[in-house]
Amino acid sequence: MAGRVYLVGAGPWDPGLLTLRGQTLLRRADTVIYDYLVNPEILQHTRADALLVPTGRSSYRMTQAEICQRLVDECRLGRHVVRLKGGDPFVFGRGGEEAEALRKVGLEFEVVPGVTAAIASCAYAGIPVTHRDYGSTLGLCTGHSRDDEPDTDLNWGALASLDTIVFYMAAKRLSRVRDNLIAAGRPQKTPVALVRWATRADQQTVVTDLDGMVDAAAAQKMTAPMTIVIGEIVNLRRTISWYEKRPLFGQRIVVTRSHRQRGELSTRLSDLGAQVIPYPTIDFEPIPDGIAEVISTFQCFDWVVFTSANAVNFFLDQLLDAGADLRIFGTIKIACIGPATAEGLVKRGLVADLVPKRYVAEGLLDALGQVSLAGQKILIPRALIARNTLPDALRVAADVVVLPVYKTVPAQVDLGVHERLIDGAFDIITFTSSSTVTNFVSKFNSTNLEHIRSTCVVVCIGPVTAQTAAENGFRVVAVAHEYTIDGLVQSLEEYVSSVDKADYSDH
């Protein structure tokens, strides 16, 4: 039994622009054959055992005939084959040629449209492709036809008469587009937008006019992939640009949290328009050695104090692994250092009795000081290495047991990201604990570190982290008022907007 081929549009780049149908088919696919313009994040929807076949880029690139043959071969093996293409498979994507090849040998296929680059570029640059006041005709056009043939002549007269024209694959043929459209009567001052890497966090838009577009592209180093949008409608961008107006747009921000924790901060920052560069400096490993003994004497405790969501998770995991469950808490009271820890606790089905107003050890001490601790027995499950402020102070009145349930270890470094940081290709580093600072520093030699310190600024989650960062020579420009991820994001936003304002006043 032969399989079936799905020609699926992946959209321009942003993985959120994949269709639901595309996602469903990727989940089912046995084989995925994909182009370089497809965001690799989209491949996360595939099964772990799916065969992933890139069609290659410059050094090795499958020919169209090879791609068609591979589709046929995979399909004949009875496999579900997803042919994943950037944008839409039928818009300058050779999807038609692949469908013909499959039909010719009698194989089944399905086509799933995608958001094509022209539409996405205009949407994300704030240019409506049609508008009742500006244009009722829209042309999609390619700057060159086939790799193996000279440029075929377009009907420039017909093109010039369209209200809006969007060119694909024309980065190297800008002067040809300019000369021909002007010769065909399009005014030199016709507005033009060049949109590079549309829908990515580093999207670049250059607004110019027909006459000036070649020089503007060279001056701004605009290269493929980009679309060229030509027509009066480009002027609307002044009013309705939105993607590039988000508060953190254009900021390249390094997130140093562990893989396990980085999700929330990264998502918040990218939603605000930042380009997030994950560089996890720490990871966590459980230390399950002490749990059995603690369980056997658990009923002696009056309080359990958690100082991080990690402590909550490692402790409760170990409790379950050891055969106990939440009922063990009975009437034992629980304190948390801050809201993130308390939230981590709620996710595990427990509610804290006490959360202080200030989210540092001292705040927790003040709050605990309000309750009588004399003669009480307190358990603190936490990291192997941590500040002793809290247990030491509590020991004055109470009997304190510190149980190390996890330790921080250095994370594996992603070499590609490491190189980018050495090159200084980022603006801001976020640190969420002193160990993220010290581990970050340990990854670079002194020359590289000096370069990084001089080219970027640092934003920290709280004063202790900020002090460690300052001691390590970083320029700390903002510290969260509230020592949480929300607080960190807010301070970062305030910092960026204050710099933007300063930039304007300079001009």
Using DSSP bridges, classify how beta strands 164-168 and 226-230 pair: parallel, antiparallel or unpaired: antiparallel
391: contact with ligand SAH by CB under 6 A:
no
Closest CB to ligand SAH among 224 and 324?
A: 224
The three-state secondary structure class of 495 is helix
Give the residue, chosen from 5, 169, 269, 342, that forms a contact with ligand SAH under the rule CB under 6 A: 169
Which single residue brings its beta carbon nearest to ligand SAH? 87
Question: Within a 13 Å sphere around the CA of 72, how many CA atoms are in the beta-carbon half?
Answer: 16
Binding mask 317-356 for ligand SAH (x = CB under 6 A): ----------------------------------------
Packing angle, helices 339-347 and 309-321, rounded to 10: 30
38: contact with ligand SAH by CB under 6 A:
no
Closest CB to ligand SAH among 42 and 169?
A: 169
Select from 102-110, 175-183, 218-226, 232-240 the region that touches ligand SAH (CB under 6 A): 218-226
301: contact with ligand SAH by CB under 6 A:
no
Cβ 477 to ligand SAH shortest distance, Å: 32
67: contact with ligand SAH by CB under 6 A:
no
Alpha-carbon distance 468 to 491, whole Å? 18
Is the Cβ–Cβ distance between 286 and 406 less than 8 Å? yes
Give the residue, chosen from 86, 191, 231, 273, that forms a contact with ligand SAH under the rule CB under 6 A: 86
Select from 156-164, 220-228, 453-461, 477-485 the region that touches ligand SAH (CB under 6 A): 220-228
361: contact with ligand SAH by CB under 6 A:
no
Cβ 118 to ligand SAH shortest distance, Å: 7
231: contact with ligand SAH by CB under 6 A:
no
Cβ 200 to ligand SAH shortest distance, Å: 6
117: contact with ligand SAH by CB under 6 A:
yes
Provide the edge-to-edge strand list for the sheet that holds 303-306.
282-286, 399-410, 377-383, 303-306, 333-336
198: contact with ligand SAH by CB under 6 A:
yes
Alpha-carbon distance 217 to 223, whole Å? 8
Closest CB to ligand SAH among 85 and 268?
A: 85
91: contact with ligand SAH by CB under 6 A:
yes
306: contact with ligand SAH by CB under 6 A:
no
Cβ 302 to ligand SAH shortest distance, Å: 59
Smallest CA-to-CA distance from 336 within 324, 344, 328 is with 344
Smallest CA-to-CA distance from 437 within 462, 412, 455 is with 462
Smallest CA-to-CA distance from 309 within 277, 280, 281, 284 is with 284
The three-state secondary structure class of 98 is helix
Select from 192-200, 354-362, 425-433, 475-483 the region that touches ligand SAH (CB under 6 A): 192-200
Alpha-carbon distance 286 to 267, whole Å? 26
Closest CB to ligand SAH among 57 and 395?
A: 57
Closest CB to ligand SAH among 85 and 382?
A: 85
Provide the edge-to-edge strand list for the sheet that holds 252-255.
275-278, 252-255, 428-431, 457-460, 476-479
Is the Cβ–Cβ distance between 170 and 144 less than 8 Å? yes
Alpha-carbon distance 33 to 50, whole Å? 10
Is the Cβ–Cβ distance between 85 and 64 less than 8 Å? no
Give the residue, chosen from 88, 98, 427, 493, that forms a contact with ligand SAH under the rule CB under 6 A: 88
Closest CB to ligand SAH among 177 and 282?
A: 177
121: contact with ligand SAH by CB under 6 A:
yes
Give the residue, chosen from 3, 87, 356, 404, that forms a contact with ligand SAH under the rule CB under 6 A: 87
Smallest CA-to-CA distance from 349 within 369, 325, 368, 371 is with 325
Cβ 194 to ligand SAH shortest distance, Å: 9
Exposed, middle or buried: residue 448 (CB in 10 Å: 0-12, 13-18, 19+)?
middle
Task: Indicate if the alpha-carbon torsion angle 67, 72, 76, 82 is positive or negative.
Answer: positive
Exposed, middle or buried: residue 336 (CB in 10 Å: 0-12, 13-18, 19+)?
buried
127: contact with ligand SAH by CB under 6 A:
no
Let me know the angle formed at the C-alpha of 72 by 67 and 73, rounded to the nearest 5 degrees.
95
359: contact with ligand SAH by CB under 6 A:
no
For the chain, helix, strand, coil in percent to 5 are 40, 20, 35
39: contact with ligand SAH by CB under 6 A:
no
116: contact with ligand SAH by CB under 6 A:
yes
85: contact with ligand SAH by CB under 6 A:
yes
226: contact with ligand SAH by CB under 6 A:
yes
Select from 90-98, 279-287, 311-319, 393-401 the region that touches ligand SAH (CB under 6 A): 90-98
Cβ 65 to ligand SAH shortest distance, Å: 18
Is the Cβ–Cβ distance between 284 and 391 less than 8 Å? no
Task: Indicate if the alpha-carbon torsion angle 432, 434, 435, 436 is positive or negative.
Answer: positive
Give the residue, chosen from 6, 8, 13, 154, that forms a contact with ligand SAH under the rule CB under 6 A: 13
Cβ 117 to ligand SAH shortest distance, Å: 3
Give the residue, chosen from 195, 316, 390, 479, that forms a contact with ligand SAH under the rule CB under 6 A: 195
**Look-up: residue for tokens 């194989």?**
107
List interacting residues with ligand SAH (CB under 6 A).
12-13, 37, 85-88, 91-93, 116-117, 121, 168-169, 195, 197-199, 224-227
